[in-house]
Amino acid sequence: MSRNSINPKSRFAPPRVGLLGGSFNPAHQGHVDITLAALERLKLDQVWWLVSPQNPLKPVRGMAPLAQRLKSAHAAMRHPRLRATGIEQDLGTRYTADTLKRLVRAFPRTRFVWLMGADNLLQISRWEDWQQIFHIVSIAIFARPTYCFRALSGKAARRFAHRRLAASAASLLARNKPPAWAFLFTKQNPISASAIRAGRRTGRSR
């Protein structure tokens, strides 16, 4: 699937879509696990992987070209309800908040849910306009090894504690008006893209 497979000018999209953003440098089983859990637990129609042209918080050095990272995304998971795309390059957006604003305008009938791991909940307060993200779309956070306690006691979790849904109500998350978020304990995979890259540099296989 090409990076243009999601047309930002289209007015047609499934009613419930999960958005998993990241560098995908490379895509790996942890991304797959979150996607499958989101489809099941949140009752989503699709999940879109938003492969970032360049994460502002990550160094350019060591970042594979966008086309290569898209290729790794397609190789990591082939599923009829997954779309891997570099749409942020088409939109010309750099920050997640801006991307979400554009997507919500482009697909007014779609209920988007932002998907991320507990490690990102812990450091989301470093993101540009991070509080706006909670007000634009509902958010589902997935447990990651060693991060759960710190993430749930962090700045963002405390700021929006009053808008947290019970995990048992996660299937209703897409219907809730933002801000709304849920923390889900699912299969936890310790793998990370940085560990994969380190293994490749030292010649180890995984």
Residue type for 198, please?
A
Q: What is the pLDDT of residues 90-141, one digit of tens each?
A: 999 999 999 999 999 999 999 999 999 999 999 999 999 999 999 999 999 9
CATH number for the segment(s) 16-202 = 3.40.50.620
Q: Confirm if 48 and 19 have CB atoms less than 8 A apart.
A: yes
CB atoms under 10 Å from CB of 201, counted, come to 9
Q: What percent of the chain has pLDDT above 90?
A: 73
Residue boundaries of the structural domains of the chain: 16-202
Which residues are within 8 A (CB) of 94 and not within 5 positions of it... i.e. 6 or more apart? Answer: 54, 56, 88
Average pLDDT over the chain, rounded to an integer: 87
130-153 burial by CB neighbour count: b if 16+ within 10 A, else e?
bebbbebbbbbbbbbeebbeebbe
Which pLDDT tens digit goes with each residue over 127-185? 999 999 999 999 999 998 888 999 999 999 999 999 999 999 999 999 999 999 999 99
Q: Is the pLDDT confidence value at 46 over 80? A: yes
Cα 72 to Cα 15: distance, rounded to the nearest angstrom = 27
* pLDDT for position 62: 82
Q: What pLDDT was estimated at residue 57?
A: 76
